[in-house]
């Protein structure tokens, strides 16, 4: 129950933040507002989420994997082959993320990586998917972890 309440609090804060971003963009930058509007017109219900079970073991190598957690969490363990770009730095480091192959972003649960995924999609990446359940679900499934 406590975890669910925390998740709803984080999701509420995300929604509030996106709402504020949209209002600010509308007032300050019509191009940003148009980009957000186009994204929300385009995005499906899942918003680019993909479940762990939807990725066969032999398909992980095709992804450019971005771990959006902080450096300490990344060092403690991560998906093999992942690059660490903290979610707050994804826009600043967007030129290191390819547009010509599938991109998979994850955090601990999928909340912060959703923000990174949204930012990349608004900026023109059409190949971004967010790992639903994040690293916690990945580990719980017994998948390999790199130290």
61 and 17 co-located in one domain: no
How many residues are present in the chain?
147
24 and 73 co-located in one domain: no
126 and 147 co-located in one domain: yes
Residue 79 three-state SS: coil
The arithmetic mean of pLDDT across residues 124-142, rounded, is 94
CATH number at residue 122: 3.40.250.10
Print the domain residue range for 74: 46-147
Residue 108 three-state SS: coil
Q: What percent of the chain has pLDDT over 70?
A: 76
Structural domain total, the chain? 2
Residue-wise pLDDT tens digits, 32-52: 777 777 766 766 655 588 999
The structure's pTM equals: 0.75
């Amino acid at each position: 129950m406590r975890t669910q309440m925390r998740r709803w609090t984080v999701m509420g804060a995300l929604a509030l933040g996106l709402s504020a971003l949209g209002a600010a963009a509308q007032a300050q930058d019509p191009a940003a507002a148009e980009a957000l509007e186009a994204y929300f017109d385009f995005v499906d219900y899942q918003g680019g989420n993909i479940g762990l079970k939807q990725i066969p073991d032999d398909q992980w190598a095709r992804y450019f994997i971005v771990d959006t957690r902080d450096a300490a969490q990344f060092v403690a363990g991560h998906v093999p082959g992942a690059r660490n770009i903290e979610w707050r730095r994804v826009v600043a480091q967007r030129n290191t993320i390819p547009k010509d192959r599938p991109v998979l972003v994850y955090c601990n649960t999928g909340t912060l990586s959703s923000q990174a995924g949204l930012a990349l999609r608004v900026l023109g990446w059409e190949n971004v998917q967010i790992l639903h359940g994040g690293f916690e679900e990945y580990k719980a499934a017994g998948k390999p972890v790199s130290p």
